[in-house]
Structure 1
């Protein structure tokens, strides 16, 4: 199977950007921790990023229709490049009195990321034929997860040989390459509402989301799974490793790594058996959701470290077996011109729930204990499975594949 030049450019350009994103976040966390000597201060880095991405998801619809989607993609990456270069220069005189500058810059970078992420997902159906969408989504997810699985480890290794500022300059080079490649994407326009009122443009994606039955169900599922997924953040998983498994903290890295390996294997499965997944798309959504629930409840009750690795690996597999078909359902349930608006709304749900859920799960861990928090997570996944089971026909492949799309 050969994809066209645009899909290849999108994947390669975004891969350079994703590698740079991980490395620059590793660098910034190191800078803040070295400067303040506080884990709390360092934890505000992901909080700042999540908050700004949420705001971006709300505002992005104002740009769609005014700016070509390919230029919105390339322009956001170019903006990130300029901001990162400014950050690199600002590090020279950084101290405890002006370190807030770092948070301002990473906030703007995250804002541009919040714009680019839904645009990338929207562009795939423009650059890939309908019969190859499942494989394209699988490839995109495989590449992303491979980068996530390796670069957090590699980022730590980079800091052994490079200073944080030198790592920022290295990432700037990666961002420049990414910006250059994305500038060659084929022109893609997206229609928007004729109304001049900005509030209506922002509401458009939400209205499409809640007036399209299958997307409304997906939004409900994302809401439940978003809350459920926050138990896997470091703050909660550290406690589980220490209190429930009673092993050294390095096991957090092992469990996290097993999860990412599971995601990669799930992606590869969807690529290899794309035609089967397309024919049985409702069944794969249900199987992925149900086994994610089952393995999470087993994880919450388990006290054997090696078994925890196996369970985490399994959760990763079934999470991805559900996620990739779900992306394809979204992309084939609407005219392509409406996808960017829907993806920004779904992105707002995801980032908003992650921010609130992370805080809530941390508090519940202190109040109820870490095992009960994982039990709660599994119950949320069970509710998501029930929604899919009751609406399985809505997700059936013959409802979407083969339809003529705009």
Structure 2
């Protein structure tokens, strides 16, 4: 693969590890500063809100700047914000100031994420795109899995402030390596397009293209269904259904990530097989994740829950990489980044609303019914794909 791809994944490796350390360090600092569950809950809320707002306005930037420019600017500004936070951790920062930094970092991520993903097909040959996505996904999940464990150990051994300083170093390295990525895709600034048209272009592309619409209907249904994996719901399931200690939530979460890593590894070894059988594997994986989710909801044995979460991760990875690669192959360079921006708005909004709804339903119904309901939603997604799969040629 091209050198630019290697520089991109190295940059993302440092950025993803930094993102995990950043969250771990912030949780520690916020808890010490406030000792309030409310402020702890604000962290995921501000992350979602910042990303959603930024994704909404991202098309304005994509029409005016190259993707690499935006990535460098975003990572450099995040580095500056982390420097402020790191220096501030040596003193006493007000909670409101920390919350502003949290929102600002999430806002920068909102346009950096679609830019980074849209850059992949520009620097990788189409014949290697599926393998490249498998590699990036495997690295991403490995970083998250190892990062949370390592971050927790570092916070316990040192402090949240020290971990923020480590995050700063990782962000500096990420910014450095992204500078070496070369994107030779022709670019023309668009300044005469109506703002409303710019902001809605991604949604219109999704709606007007049959295969794009199919992919995003599935993404939307899965965003709603997968809220059951959030910590609050899983904690209830572990305590009320499996009747084991809260440590099992960590074990289930770990096996899920291991499943994602295994799925990504299989892709890197058998990418041509997956490419030749795209529709069949997407359909099979969709059936598998629905069955696994339903089985997870009906199961009451802790060891079986670990095995099911592992298989869910593997099959969910298969489906996610295949649909994502299809989108990259069929959208033009100009369309792709705008489609990803619209996707970011949809998934952030729906996941946030679905999380609130799931929390409310968990107080009314057994948490098992939430998993069964999620399994039925995933089954609906499978039936839908089976019906419209002729759109994928």
TM > 0.5 between the two? yes
1:242 aligns with 2:239: yes
Q: Counterpart in 1 of 2:289? A: 292
Aligned-pair CA distance for 1:194: 6.1
Aligned-pair CA distance for 1:39: 2.6
> SS where residue 368 of structure 1 aligns?
coil
Aligned-pair CA distance for 1:336: 1.7
CA distance in 1, matches of 2:266, 2:11: 24
**Structure 2 matches for 1:81-230, cutoff 5 A?**
81-94=79-92, 98-187=94-183, 188-190=185-187, 195-230=192-227
Aligned-pair CA distance for 1:193: 5.5
Aligned-pair CA distance for 1:265: 0.8
**Structure 2 matches for 1:323-362, cutoff 5 A?**
323-362=320-359
CA contact (8 A) 1:65 1:189 kept: no
> SS where residue 62 of structure 2 aligns?
coil
> SS where residue 303 of structure 1 aligns?
coil
Change (3 A) 1:61 1:230: same
Aligned-pair CA distance for 1:40: 3.0
Aligned-pair CA distance for 1:289: 1.2
CA distance in 2, matches of 1:286, 1:117: 27
CA contact (8 A) 1:241 1:248 kept: yes
Change (3 A) 1:223 1:192: farther
Aligned-pair CA distance for 1:191: 5.2
Q: Counterpart in 2 of 1:78? A: 76
Q: Counterpart in 2 of 1:403? A: none
Q: Structure 2: any 5+ residue segments left out of the alignment?
A: none
1:372 aligns with 2:369: yes
CA contact (8 A) 2:64 2:191 kept: no
Aligned-pair CA distance for 1:36: 1.7
Q: Structure 1: any 5+ residue segments left out of the alignment?
A: 400-406
Q: Counterpart in 1 of 2:9? A: 11
Aligned-pair CA distance for 1:335: 1.4
> SS where residue 67 of structure 1 aligns?
coil
> Of the candidates 46, 62, 65, which is equivalent to residue 64 of structure 1?
62
Aligned-pair CA distance for 1:100: 1.3
Change (3 A) 1:352 1:189: farther
> Of the candidates 34, 37, 46, which is equivalent to residue 36 of structure 1?
34
CA distance in 2, matches of 1:386, 1:93: 56
Q: Counterpart in 2 of 1:233? A: 230
Aligned-pair CA distance for 1:54: 0.7
CA contact (8 A) 1:81 1:175 kept: yes
CA distance in 1, matches of 2:142, 2:274: 22
CA distance in 2, matches of 1:311, 1:192: 49
Aligned-pair CA distance for 1:275: 0.7
**Number of equivalenced pairs:** 392
CA distance in 2, matches of 1:369, 1:286: 30
CA contact (8 A) 1:300 1:372 kept: yes
Which segment is superposed worse, 354-363 or 296-305?
354-363
Aligned-pair CA distance for 1:192: 6.6
Change (3 A) 1:290 1:255: same
CA contact (8 A) 2:20 2:151 kept: yes
Over aligned residue pairs, what C-alpha RMSD do you find? 1.3
Change (3 A) 1:4 1:303: same
CA contact (8 A) 2:65 2:189 kept: no
CA distance in 1, matches of 2:315, 2:20: 24
Change (3 A) 1:190 1:354: farther
CA distance in 2, matches of 1:233, 1:156: 18
**Structure 2 matches for 1:257-296, cutoff 5 A?**
257-296=254-293
Aligned-pair CA distance for 1:358: 1.1
> SS where residue 148 of structure 1 aligns?
helix
Aligned-pair CA distance for 1:189: 4.9
